[in-house]
Amino acid sequence: MKVLVTGGAGYIGSHTVVELIKAGHQAVILDNLSNSEAFIIDRINELTGRSTPFYQKDFANKAKISQLLKKEQIEGIIHFAAFKQVGESVTKPLKYYRNNVGGLISLLEAISDSNIKYFVFSSSCTVYGEPDSLPVTEDSPVKPATSPYGASKQMDEVILKDFSAASSKLSALALRYFNPIGAHPSARIGELPIGTPANLVPFITQTAAGIREKLIVYGNDYPTEDGTCIRDYIHVVDLARAHVKAIDFLSGRQAGQFDFFNIGTGKGSSVVEVINTFEQVTGVKLNYVFGPRREGDIISTYAAVDKANKMLNWKADKSLEEALLDAWNWQQTLAKK
C-alpha cells in the first residue's frame, strides 16, 4: 500500500515510516518541519535503503494536499501532524483547536476528492481524562478533557467517526497512545524536542547529558505509592509497529467503519520509577528536584491492551529498560550530529 504519513519527519512519524517500509509498504512523507528537522529524512532513507518522497507542506492546505494525493496515488493516510504539549494547550487553546481540529477538517475535505480508502489517526489516552478505574479499557468512559490538547483529540475522533460513517469508500481507526518513549535501536532517529522538552524522558536525557542543570518532577503529593504520576510508557518502535498493523487491519474492513484501540504496555510506571530505572541501566545519576503540580496532568493511567492484541495482532515487546537505554544512546549521538 502507498501511505501518506503526515508529520512523517517527527518523532513517532519517522519511526513509523521506517516500519512501514520494513513491512513492504510504500511511504510518502508530509511535514512542514515546524517541530522536526530535515536531517531526519536522510536518516530514514539511510535506515530503509530507499529514497522516500518528502513534501514540505502544511497538512491543512486543502488544495495542495489534494494535488499531492492524486500525484502520488495515495491509498492510505497515517495522520500524526498535530500540536501535542498539554501545558501549552492550556495557555494557548485556540492554537490547538485551529491546528488539531481545523486542520483535520481541511485534510478530510481534501480526502473527499481522492481515492483514499484507509485512515489511521494518532489519538491519545488523554481522551479518557482522569480514569475511574485502572487499567483503562476501550469501554472506559470518555470524560471531560483535562486540557485543550485532550479536548482536541476527543473532537477529532468524533469528526473522523462521523466522516467515515458518511463515506462510501473510507474506513478509519484511532490509536489511543499512552506515553511513547525511546528511540530507534540504531540511535539514528529519536525524539527531537525543539526548545524545552514537554515530555519526561527527553528532559531526563538532556539533564543526564548536562544540557539542563536539573530535572523538575511536577508534583510529589499525588495519591500514588511514591507521590508521583503514573503513566504507561511504550517504546516508540512498538508504537510504530502498531500503525503498520492498523493499516493492514483496515485493508480488510468495509468502508464506513470506524474503530479505536489502546496502544500501551498494560503496565504503569511512576516518574520516580522511570528516573531510578534510567539511572540503573545507564549508570548516570540525575539531578532532580520536585516542583508544583502541572496544570492539566492526571494522576495515573495505564492501558488495557487486549483489544489491540486480539484484533490488530499486535503487542508491545520492548521493556522500559530497553526504551530508556535507547533514548540515552540517541541523546549521546545528537552531540555528534
For residue 337, what pLDDT is reported?
Answer: 59
In a domain, 197, yes or no: no
Mean pLDDT of 187-201: 90
pLDDT at 267 > cutoff 70: yes
Mean pLDDT of 260-266: 98
Per-residue pLDDT of 69-82, as tens digits, reads: 999 999 999 999 99
pLDDT at 135 > cutoff 80: yes
- Cell numbers linked to 332: 549521546
Mean pLDDT of 238-250: 98
> Residue 216: helix, strand or coil by DSSP?
strand
| Number of structural domains the chain divides into | 1
What are the φ and ψ backbone dihedral angles of 119, each rounded to 5 degrees?
Answer: -140, 120
- Cell numbers linked to 29: 512523507
Of 122, 123, 174, nearest in space to 145 by CA: 123
In a domain, 105, yes or no: yes
In a domain, 52, yes or no: yes
Q: Are 232 and 264 in contact (CB under 8 A)?
A: yes
> Measured between alpha carbons, how far is 313 from 324 in angstroms, rounded to an integer?
25
The chain-wide mean pLDDT, for the chain, equals 95
Of 248, 62, 101, nearest in space to 173 by CA: 248
In 92-136, which residue ranges form alpha helices assigned H by DSSP?
Answer: 93-96, 103-112
> Residue 94: helix, strand or coil by DSSP?
helix
Q: Give catalytic status of residue 149 as yes or no.
A: yes
Mean pLDDT of 152-171: 95
What are the φ and ψ backbone dihedral angles of 99, each rounded to 5 degrees?
Answer: -80, -55
> What CATH number should be reported for the domain holding residue 53?
3.40.50.720
For residue 197, what pLDDT is reported?
Answer: 85
> Measured between alpha carbons, how far is 258 from 212 in angstroms, rounded to an integer?
43
Q: How many CB atoms lie within 10 A of CB 235?
A: 26
The DSSP letter of residue 215 is E
- Cell numbers linked to 124: 491519545
Of 86-90, 223-227, 276-280, 320-324, minimum mean pLDDT range: 86-90
In a domain, 56, yes or no: yes
Of the candidates 11, 149, 222, 302, the residue annotated as catalytic is 149
For residue 76, what pLDDT is reported?
Answer: 97
In a domain, 37, yes or no: yes
Q: b/e for 37-76, b at 16 or more Cβ within 10 A?
A: beebbebbbebbeeebbbbebbbbbbeebbebbeebebbb
In a domain, 7, yes or no: yes
- Cell numbers linked to 322: 530497553
> Measured between alpha carbons, how far is 36 from 121 in angstroms, rounded to an integer?
19
Percent of the chain residues topping a pLDDT of 70: 99
Give the structural domain span for 142.
Answer: 2-181+234-264
For the chain, the first-to-last Cα distance in angstroms comes to 33
> Residue 69: helix, strand or coil by DSSP?
helix
In a domain, 222, yes or no: no
**Residue 215: which residues within 8 A CB-CB, separation 6 or more?**
203, 204, 207, 275, 286, 287, 288, 289
In a domain, 311, yes or no: no
